[in-house]
Amino acid sequence: MLTSWAGRLALGLALGALWRAGHRYAAAPLPGLVSWPVVRATALAFCRRDRAAAPAPAVAAAYERRVATSVQLVARYVGTRLPQPLDKVHVLSRAGWIEANLVGLRQLLDPLADASRAGEPKSVGNHASSGATQMLLSLQLGVLLGFLARRVLGQYDLALLGSEPVVQGRLYFVEANIAALEQRLGLPAEDFRLWIALHETTHAFEFEAHPWLREHLAGLLRRYLQSLGPDVLSWRPTRAGQWAMLARLAGNALQSRYVVEIVMSPEQREVFRAVQAAMAVLEGFSNHVMDRVGAGLIADYPDLRARFERRLTERGLLERLAQQLTGLHVKLEQYVLGERFVNAVVERLGIAGANLLLSGPSALPTLDELHEPQSWLARVPGAAP
């Protein structure tokens, strides 16, 4: 599985909404959103039997060469240049990938907890409910990280929130997972690794050649943080309040595309959907580039892609259940939806149409437009063929 910044952002929004909903009923002070020692220990438990050592320097150097090749190939196809060299390339063990993502997740989730606690009255009460919620989310996040650590192939990592502006991301490659999948599917070793590098390098082009994109997503996140504060402890478990809450949740359920939206306010749901749509477009754009460039570069490319995609559909019962519980099935659906949308745009307008998607916030499609590309073509200036 390829993964990126987008999964982390969507996960943060979802956990924030669930945590906030769980504390509507509590009069006790809120703990942190998650317990990071629990998250780390749970995630690393998945790697206890993983005896793979950290990748050798020669392995890292080979990935640096693949990324450098990918930069040239992507620039030639999309007609865009990076403003600075893409030189932050890291080859990680599974445990190393977990540690790297814990840093980014703390930058994302700790502000969510701070925003949700802001302005809450100090009170004395039973901490069992709030502590149980924290433990549940900590275990959920730890299991998700551990699950991904054994499946992630590559990742483009760009911090959305931080004390200093970040204009350059990091590329991660988990060689143990790449090697295991290559052997299991009988894939050509070098072609497969170059294909993965193409995908992650395209993410770098999306953000670093279009600086507005990071600020746009950071703005959505700040808006989400602000929406958490005013709702603090506004509900009390009276009989009338119970019926009102049930009615609101039922109404949300009728309007929700994803289960987690049921516990969101209208504003939170709007932000969440905007993030989901952006995720789909950016993953779809990257898949499109990986597909078009790879087809002209890799011998027997259709067979490589067919074998890889067959792996995504041939899941055992346990893995399918894990995907449902962690929401990964939604991300896989977004890959398909986003790529179908970008391909439709390129078919009508060429690669210039796909570049138009990255021209500014108003050019990003909504979730509804992702299902109906023609409505996006009709709405966005310059998109009409």
pLDDT tens by residue, 49-79: 776 666 788 999 999 999 999 999 999 999 9
Q: Is the model's pLDDT at 275 over the cut of 80?
A: yes
How many residues belong to the chain?
Answer: 385
Over residues 263-285, the mean pLDDT reads: 84
**Of 214 and 221, which is predicted with more confidence?**
214
Which residues, at least 6 apart from 112, have a Cβ–Cβ distance to it below 8 Å?
12, 15, 16, 19, 33, 224, 225, 228
Percent of the chain whose predicted confidence (pLDDT) is above 90 = 38
Beta strand 154-157 pairing with 170-174: antiparallel
* Mean model confidence pLDDT for the chain: 77
Residue 112 clears pLDDT 90, i.e. is over it: no
Determine contact, residues 80/209, Cβ cutoff 8 Å: yes
What value does the mean pLDDT take over residues 342-363? Answer: 94
What pLDDT, on a 0 to 100 scale, did the predictor assign at position 48? 79
Give the integer Cα–Cα distance in Å for 303 and 299: 9
Q: How far apart are CA 94 and CA 177, in angstroms?
A: 8
For residue 69, the model assigns a pLDDT of 96
Residue 121: pLDDT band by 50, 70, 90 thresholds?
Answer: very low
Residue 12: what pLDDT?
56
pLDDT beyond 60 at 258: no
- Tens digit of each residue's pLDDT (9 = 90 or more) over 153-203: 999 988 776 555 566 889 999 999 999 999 988 889 999 999 999 999 999
The pLDDT confidence band at residue 208, using thresholds 50, 70 and 90, is very high
- Choose among 3, 7, 1, 10: nearest CA to 220: 10
The pair of structure tokens assigned to 174 is 């988990």
Assess whether pLDDT exceeds 60 at residue 376. yes
Query: Mean per-residue pLDDT for 112-138?
Result: 58
Is the model more confident about 313 or about 91? Answer: 91
Please enumerate, as own/partner, the contacts of 49-52 that have beta carbons within 8 Å and a separation of 24 or more: 50/93, 50/94, 50/95, 50/150, 50/176, 52/93, 52/94, 52/176
Annotated domain spans of the chain: 3-379
For residue 247, what pLDDT is reported?
A: 47
Rounded to an integer, what distance in angstroms lies between the CA atom of residue 336 and that of residue 173? 22
- In terms of pLDDT, which residue wins out, 245 or 15? 15
Q: What is the dihedral of CA 185, 92, 166, 1, to 10 degrees?
A: 20
pLDDT of residue 109 exceeding 80: no
Residue 296 is predicted with a pLDDT of 87
Confidence of residue 117 (pLDDT cuts 50, 70, 90): low
Contact indicator for 43, 140 with CB cutoff of 8 Å? no
Distance CA 62, CA 76 (A): 22
Query: With bands split at pLDDT 50, 70 and 90, how would you rate the model's confidence at 28?
Result: very low
pLDDT confidence bin for 332, thresholds 50/70/90: low
- pLDDT grade for 254, boundaries at 50, 70 and 90: very low
pLDDT value of residue 313: 62
Q: Quick one: pLDDT at residue 293?
A: 93
Q: How far is CA 352 from CA 81, 92, 220, 292, in A?
A: 14, 35, 26, 14
The alpha carbon dihedral of 332, 333, 337, 338 has a sign of negative
Contact 339, 288 (CB under 8 A): yes
Q: What is the pLDDT of residue 361?
A: 94
Lowest average pLDDT, out of 143-147, 253-257, 304-308, goes to 253-257
pTM of the model: 0.80
Q: Return the minimum-mean-pLDDT range out of 60-64, 112-116, 146-150, 365-369.
A: 112-116
pLDDT in tens, 229-252: 544 334 344 444 444 444 444 444
**Structure confidence at residue 204 (pLDDT):** 94
In the predicted model, is pLDDT for residue 29 greater than 60? no
Residue 30 is predicted with a pLDDT of 46
Mean pLDDT (whole number) for 309-314: 69
Give residues with Cβ within 8 angstroms of 157, minimum separation 6.
Answer: 4, 5, 100, 101, 104, 169, 170, 171, 172
Whole-angstrom distance between the N-terminal and C-terminal Cα of the chain?
A: 35
- Between 376 and 167, residue with greater pLDDT: 376
Contact 357, 363 (CB under 8 A): yes
